[in-house]
Every structure is written in structure tokens, then in C-alpha cells.
Structure 1
Amino acid sequence: HTGNYSGDGSFWHLFRSTSCPLLYCYSMNIPIYSILLGLGWKCLFNWALMFLQRSHICRSFLGVFSASLAVVDTILILIFADIHIHGDARLFLLDLELTRYHTCLLVQILGQVYSTLQWPIVVVAGLEHFCAISLQPAHSWAKRLARPLVAILLWYLTALYVFLLSGFTPVLEDVSHHQIQQCWVFHTTEPLQVVTVLSLILGCAVLHAACSTRLFDPPPQKDRIPDQSATHSRKNVVCQVLHVFLNTWALVLIFLVVLLLLPVGIPSYLGLNVAWLCFLNSFLIAVVLCVACPASQIEQGLAAVPPDSFCEWRFNFNLAAEEKT
């Protein structure tokens, strides 16, 4: 969608009147150098976090996907920087002349792809964590082969969806590419949606554990001893999970709540990053542990907590053992 826009808000009225998806009807006009700076810092932060958790990269789907995300961000920032530096020269890639138009176009497409990837990543990582915690572990070679294949498949299917099925329409200004100094960038709300949904699931699991404990506490009966011990074990696991998770990520949760309450938009090209995936990994582990509560499996070594570079998931089942005796 093109048009000759000034910065007086006429574009806002025109853009709001187009048939764009609800989540993308809000945008911001950002200078190109700010976009490059933001992507550059994001890229450096991605690789710093990758280095810090290098021992866990191949041990989970989110680790493998974080590596692919860091590579994609690096390639794109190099392309964007090259286009911006040679903005007044003729730059070709595969017989295509690249201009600042393509910087704005790629930023919008990149943001759409990143926003679309949020929920598939949550579903795949959540299923992997649930299987790792609740089921017997699969062969390590099969998991190592499946993780990069699933990551590549997600990128491919998401790109197909964005280009063919989503109805996404880029917004570009109808001026010479030499005069383009700013790009219209869409907001994304998917990270806040993910946090809200996972928080609701986690809250329901906590309430279930608390209500189950109150239900089975009075008065003790012989025929309810197994249920009572299982209930106390569930409460023990939930309390320890919340303590570990909040000790590490409480400030991030507060920051996300502030973003949810304030009318502040998250640029879509920054919505998916390795730091967010690290937080998401810990959050999904906490949710799965509270929902499944595999106290006996973990205690007997039949289930293992997925790798996490930030939260140290150690459990003490002494109280539960005393109640069982």
C-alpha cells in the first residue's frame, strides 16, 4: 500500500481505514538509523546470550531455534547496513537493485514473520518440555536430529504463511528512495499475549494445588492417605517451582506487566529475540512442572527437568517423604 504521506497524522487515518489485521493496525514511524541501531544491539545481545548458554544450545528446541534466530538477525543486519551505507549507490543482490525501500520492506516482513512465529514456538517448546518431564526420554540422537528439522520447518512454513495466506500488505511511502529516512514499523502484541495465557495457566495450576490441599487436609482417613500425600507433594512442587522461577524472572514479569498496562508498542522486529526465548524457556518449564507435578518421577530419576541456563531447578522432597511415612 503506497501513498504520498506527510508526518501530520494523515497517514494514520489512511492506515487505520485499510483492511489490515487487528493486531497490526497500530504502527510507528522510526528513523532507519534507529532501526539499524536496535537490530545491531539485538544481534550483539543474541550472540552474548548464546555464548553464555553454549552448553545448552543443542539440548532443547528453544536452544536450537535461538541459534537460528541469531544467524537470521546477523544476516539481516548486514544486509540492512550495506543498503544504508550504499544508499546513494547501485547495490545489487541476485540481479535485484537494493535501495532503502527494501530496508523498510524487509523490516516489515521480518516483523510479521517474528510475530507469527511466537505461538508455534510456544506450542513446540511446551510439548517438548511436557514429554521430557512426564514421559520416558527418547533417544538422544533422534531428538538432536528432530530439533533443527523442526526449527527449519517452522521458518519455512511461517514464511509461506506470511507471503501467501496472511494477507499482509507492506506500507511504503511514495517518494524517491533517496528521500526515505524513516520506516513505518508495526507493533506486536504476541509476547504480551503469550505471557498472559501462560500466567493464567500457571495461576490455575497454583489454585488447583491450593484447593486440593484444603480439600484433603481435614480430617485424615486411612482410605485417603495416598491422595493426601499426593496432594501435599503437588503443593510442595508448585511452591518450589514458583520460588525458583520468581527469584530469577520477577523483574522481567513486572516489566511485562507495565508494558501490558501502558499504551506502549513493541516494534515487531524486536519482539522475538534470544533473551525472550530464554525467559520463555523458564516460563514453560514452570508451567509444565506445575501442571504435571511429576514429583515421584523426578524423585526416582524417571524424569528430568529440561535444560535452563538461568533457573536452577533443584527440588527437595524431604517434606513429601515425611508425609508419606
Structure 2
Amino acid sequence: MTALSSKNCSFQYQEHQTNQFLDVSCLLFLIILGKTLLNILMLGMRRKTTYQNFMEYFCISLAFIDLLLLVNISLISYFRDFVFLGIRFTKYHICLFTQIISFTYGLLPYPVVLLAYIDYYLNLSKTTMFPCKCQKFFYFFIIIFIWISVLAYVLRDPAIYQSLNAQNVYSCQCPFYVSIQSYWLSFSMVMILFIAFLTSWSEVVTLVRAVRVTSYMNVAILYFPFSSQSSYMMSSKKILLPKLIICFLGTWFPFVLLQILILLLKVQIPAYIEMNIPLLYFVNSFLIATVYWFNCHKLSLKDIALPVDPFVSWKCCFIPLTIHNFEHTEKPISIIIY
């Protein structure tokens, strides 16, 4: 009787463990599916330009990795137990693959941000004059090298390997890595925005009261009023900063509030969720504004070749507008927009 009860308890425990794994698999599938759909939406909403940069290619590679993870989770969830190329895949590999991706994503923010900033700086200063095909190949090579290097580090690091052992993989909790890099990156960006706003809040308020929204070629743009001498003062960082703040917050203000709430509430988001395309485009706009501000003396008003932001139109910050009777003008002809 005792042995029979023990077997029944063991069977019930195994059945409960299996159900929990199925619940985790369904939850991971829904999360990755939602993230993949968000990736497609952001890539579809971005401004279509011929200008290519490192961050743009990396966002595409991230969307591909998320799609690959979704396909793997879907196949394993459907077949549950199968052999492919001599390797047996079970439902436990769903947790294992997601943990590996989580560790990999958690180590990417710093190198990606650094390389993106260097890329924008070199392109703005025109120190690199590679042909278009060579530049695309260079971006492709760098991105492949980053993914392989970080993945190799994750699989060979003793501390990470220990967290990926059978004891953690076969547990019902399936813990995921929370990236400290993403936390400090968000914290640094929010603090820099806060300090920049404090140092120029009066200019920002004055400019917000004077700024107007108009259209050019059926595109909504911001109209910044300029004085007659403003065209000779565009190299001033003090004048440029409030315009950059308004353009940036005008596009990313909801995302800035989200980052502030996450930091204040100390929300721990797994790295496989936190590393996403909206965050990368948010960082991308921040990097472009930073490059503009540090290199405002290099910007030419007559022949301005600026890195094109997929979501923020920065060009209106640099071109002075002196349009008479603007209230009666439907389409300002002096505005050049990408």
C-alpha cells in the first residue's frame, strides 16, 4: 500500500512537472511571437532610406535571431521529442535555447552601442570613403563576428555553463538572465537627458512655445523660428541642444517615460525580452543626437550630409528658415527633409 502510494505521488509529481514545462513553453512561444511581430512592425514603420549604417544591419540581424528562436520553439513544442542530425530534442531544449539567447543578448548592449557611435562619428567626419558594396560587406562581417564571439563566450564561460547545467534546465522554474548592461545603459541615457534638459530648460520651454508643426511634401515636420543671424550661429552647442531635445522627446517621449518607470520600479526584465528593436532604435536616435551635438562645428548648412534616423527628422534642427508671412504659407520651400 505504501509503495503504491509512493508511485502515485511520483507519477502525480512528474505529471505536474510536465504540465509546468508545457505552460512555460506556451508562455515563451507567446512572448517571442509578440516580440517578432513587434520587430516586423518597427522595421515596416521606419523611414525608408538608401543610407546604410551599422545599427540598421544589426536590427535586421536581431529580428532574424528572434525569428529563428520562434521557429525552434514552435518545432520543439509541436513534435516535443524528436531526433535531428543525431541530436535528440525535447521540450527541455526550449528553456535551454532561450537561456542561451538570453545570456547572449545580455552581453551585446555595450559593444553594439560603442560600434554604432564609432560608425556615426566616422561617417559624419567622412574619414571612411568605402564603396557602398564594401561598406555593406564590412557591416555584415562585423555583425557576424559579434554574434559568433558573444555566443562562443557564453558557451565557454564556466559561470554561464554552470547555470546552464542539467539541474537548472530540468527545473520547472527555467530562470533567465537579467542584463546589467541594459540597466546601466538605460540609466545613463535617462540621466544624460535629465541633465541636458535641466541645463537648457528655459530655452526648451521658449522654443516649444514658438515651434509650429507644418507639412512639407505631405510629411509633418517641426518649424523652428530663426532670427536673421541664426544661420551664422549654428555651430553653437547651446543653440543646438534645445532643438535636439525637442526633436528627440517629440518622437521618443513615451519610451523615455517607460524607461524611467522601469528604473524607478526596479523591474527585472529578462535579456531576451529587453534586447529588442524599439530599444535599439531609441538608442540609435540618442547616439545620432550625441554625435550631432559633439560635432556641430563640422555640420555644413549648405551641403549637409547627416546620418538619417529611421524615426526622427533631425534636419529641421540645422536649416534656418526665414519665411515671410509663414501663416499664409502652406508649404515652406526652404525646408529639406529626408
**Bin for the TM-score computed over the shorter chain:** 0.7 to 0.9
**In the alignment, what sits opposite 1:282?**
285
When Rg is computed on C-alpha atoms for both structures, the one with the higher figure is 2
CA distance in 2, matches of 1:230, 1:267: 46
1:59–1:123 Cα change, 3 Å:
same
Contact 2:190 2:259 in 1 (8 A): no
- Equivalent residue pairs, number: 267
- Structure 1: state its 5+ residue gaps: 1-29, 211-228, 320-325
**In the alignment, what sits opposite 1:297?**
299
Superposition TM-score, scaled by structure 2 size: 0.70
Is 1:69 aligned with 2:39? no
Contact 2:117 2:291 in 1 (8 A): yes
Q: How far apart are residue 167 of structure 1 and its match? A: 2.8
User: Deviation above 4 Å: which 4+ runs of structure 1?
Assistant: 171-177, 199-210, 229-232
| Higher RCO (C-alpha 8 Å, min separation 6) | 1
CA distance in 1, matches of 2:155, 2:312: 38
**In the alignment, what sits opposite 2:308?**
307
Letter in 2 for 1:162: V
CA distance in 2, matches of 1:85, 1:116: 31
| Aligned residue runs from structure 1 range 42-121, under 5 A | 42-53=35-46, 55-56=48-49, 59-87=52-80, 89=81, 91-121=82-112
Instruction: Kindly report the root-mean-square deviation, in angstroms, between the aligned alpha carbons of the 2 structures.
Output: 3.0
Cα deviation 1:91-140 (Å, max 9, x = unaligned): 12221100122111111110000010111100000111112223356234
**In the alignment, what sits opposite 1:135?**
126
CA distance in 1, matches of 2:105, 2:169: 28
Contact 2:25 2:73 in 1 (8 A): no
Segment drifting more, 184-193 vs 144-153: 184-193
Q: How far apart are residue 279 of structure 1 and its match? A: 1.0
| Aligned residue runs from structure 1 range 5-24, under 5 A | none
Is 1:246 aligned with 2:249? yes
Q: How far apart are residue 155 of structure 1 and its match? A: 0.5
Superposition TM-score, scaled by structure 1 size: 0.72
Contact 2:200 2:242 in 1 (8 A): no
CA distance in 1, matches of 2:154, 2:50: 28
**In the alignment, what sits opposite 2:204?**
none
1:123 to 90, 104, 114: 114
Contact 1:205 1:290 in 2 (8 A): no
| Aligned residue runs from structure 1 range 201-240, under 5 A | 201=192, 233-240=236-243
CA distance in 1, matches of 2:169, 2:53: 46
Contact 1:50 1:57 in 2 (8 A): no
Letter in 2 for 1:36: F
Q: How far apart are residue 54 of structure 1 and its match? A: 7.2
1:288–1:184 Cα change, 3 Å:
same
CA distance in 2, matches of 1:161, 1:45: 28
Q: How far apart are residue 318 of structure 1 and its match? A: 3.6
1:309–1:239 Cα change, 3 Å:
same
- Structure 2: state its 5+ residue gaps: 1-22, 202-231, 322-338
Q: How far apart are residue 254 of structure 1 and its match? A: 1.0
